Chain A
Amino acid sequence: MTLRIEIDDLAKHFGAIKAVDGVSFSVSKGEVLGFLGPNGAGKSTTMKMITGFLAPTRGTVRVCGYDVLTDPISVKAHLGYLPEGAPAYADMTPDSFLHFIAEIRGLKGADKKRAVGLAAERARITNVMFQPIETLSKGYKRRVGLAQSILHNPPVLILDEPTDGLDPNQKHEVRTLINEMAEDKAIIISTHILEEVHALCNRNVVIANGKIKFDGTPQELESKSRYYNAVCVNVANIEQQAFENFLSSLEFVANVEKLSGDAGFRVYPQQGRQITAELSEKIRGNGWDIDALHAENGRLDEVFRSITLPNAESSK
């Protein structure tokens, strides 16, 4: 594993406001790090510091071994960045815009032409190359920004909300593109769209109020949910109260919750154990017919809430 991004004790204070307050993590080649957090948590500020746009109040950022404070040009040369909202020069066409980026990135002649063509193809904007960017739809603008960020095939990619405002098809295309590139790059993606945790990332960092609240795999993030490995079960033709008492009495069950309607019960396991098999065996052992039985995944929105709002009730 090659470390591509190393962030140590990074902080940015705006007056009394600590937008980012002591963030440390690193990203290796092959990792797609999903940077999660509510709006205003410090995601964009952190990304702006990594890309050298904002000077940190404290701490260090190294990209491919170059320090962003002492050698910002080398850092910028090694990364591709899609800023929030994908800003571009609105009166240019994607073609002239990408050629400008390619020139600044030091590409010349045939290399330049090839890089622009490939980036346009990968971002799927070949059909709008000669329309002014200001006349393009939001989805196309976003993809022009994406094309710009991947044009020079950078080892590090920083994408600030790359799928924000896209329709489901466009989201799918952008995710496919990112997955294609994931293998040989280190990628940081900020998002507050939780479905992207599974669709895109192999690691997650959750940030709130400028501090890191979680750093781990998507599975680890899910396992923090109280629904993780909970089992929903329904048995037909049975007296509900007796069944609930039976479920509560099982030694591997921590808690039982009645579902609304006559949908049965949700059974919470002791210490996040997998209890589906055991439970089904016990129920059958009593001679009851199981109508429905399924294990739940963790619920990311609930985990997200409980991590980023420490005082909020997690049961909603």
Chain B
Amino acid sequence: MNMQNIWFIMKREFNGYFATPVAYVFIIIFLLLTGFSTFYVGNFFERGEADLYPFFSLHPWLYILLIPAISMRLWAEERKSGSIELLMTLPVSVFEAVLGKVLASWAFTGLALLLNFPLWITVNYLGNPDNGVIFASFLGSLLMAGGFLAIGSCISAITKNQVIAFVISLVISLIFVLAGFGIVIDFFAGWAPQTLVDVISSFSFLTHFDAISKGVIDLRDMLYFISLIAIWLFANALIVNARKAD
């Protein structure tokens, strides 16, 4: 694994987001949606507590919609334009390319997340929040974004069409979030063995993110997201290898 190659690919991909207005449009919409969800859905003011829980707790739902829009281009565009033939005949391995690309999209997501800093300033101005909790939640949210991005990157490799990549990534992300939702659990609880119900709910982003959004970093939650990312990226590399020339 050549770290420099990963860095060069990441740098190119990251700059690629800003080559078109897409990056700016995305960031603005992301900020509007986080603002809206924090104040109107999360009742930031009415709660009367100096924390960012209303901001973080709704991130899984925002990511379902927004992350596939970031990840859809990663491989679909390479395959459509044929530049994948160029990339894959340069002296880089598939894993380096996969990592470089997903890290670029991750950095971009991190940037969008950081641009919510006015919220942090607001909450510090209004009260005395636990900034450690906020920082932990920020890292947790970023980690979860990585999970969504790994799914999206992998799906992006199966198609040349970015719209298809977007829709499929969105559906799979939705399944991963909903797996821990009451309705889904109830649906299975009626007939499936308890072990299966536990397995399904333990696969949910919600289950693992809930603690994180309150600032509790549990090693098991971390491991869940890290292994999820690893598995999807491994599948991503296999798919790129198998389908790059189609």
Q: A residues within 8 Å of B by Cβ? A: 48, 51-54, 73-74, 76-77, 79, 81, 83, 85, 87-92, 96, 100-101, 103-106, 132, 148
Contact = CB atoms under 8 A, between A and B. Distances in A.
A73 B81 CA distance: 23
Contacts of B82: 83, 85, 87
B89 A76 contact: yes
Interface in B82-121: 82-86, 88-93
B154 to A, nearest CB: 21
B16 interface: yes
A143 B220 CA distance: 53
Contacts, number: 65
Contact of A51 (B4, B5, B89, B244): B89
A83 B245 CA distance: 12
Interface in B7-22: 8-9, 11-12, 15-16, 19-20
Contacts of B88: 52-53
A54 B20 contact: no
B19 A53 contact: no
Interface residues of B, number: 24
B20 A48 contact: no
A104 B245 contact: no
Contacts of B11: 100
Given A103-B8, A104-B5, 5 more contacts: A53-B89, A87-B81, A88-B83, A92-B12, A104-B9
Given A48-B245, A100-B8, A76 B85 contact: no
Nearest to A78: B91
Contact of B16 (A48, A91, A106, A148): A91
Interface in B224-246: 244-245
A181 to B, nearest CB: 19
Contact of B85 (A74, A77, A79, A83): A83
B239 to A, nearest CB: 15
A275 B20 CA distance: 67
A79 B91 CA distance: 9
Nearest to A81: B89
A105 B5 CA distance: 9
Nearest to A96: B15
Contacts of A81: 86, 89
Contacts of A73: 91-93
B89 A104 contact: no
B85 A48 contact: yes
Listed residue (B16, B83, B85, B244) with the most chain A CB atoms within 10 angstroms of its CB: B85
A100 B15 CA distance: 11
Contacts of B89: 51-53, 76, 79, 81, 83
8 contacts: A48-B245, A76-B91, A83-B82, A87-B81, A87-B82, A89-B12, A104-B5, A132-B19
The 7 closest A-B pairs by CB, nearest first: A87-B82, A91-B19, A77-B91, A76-B91, A83-B85, A103-B8, A87-B83
A89 to B, nearest CB: 6
Contacts of A96: 15
B130 to A, nearest CB: 43
A96 B92 CA distance: 18
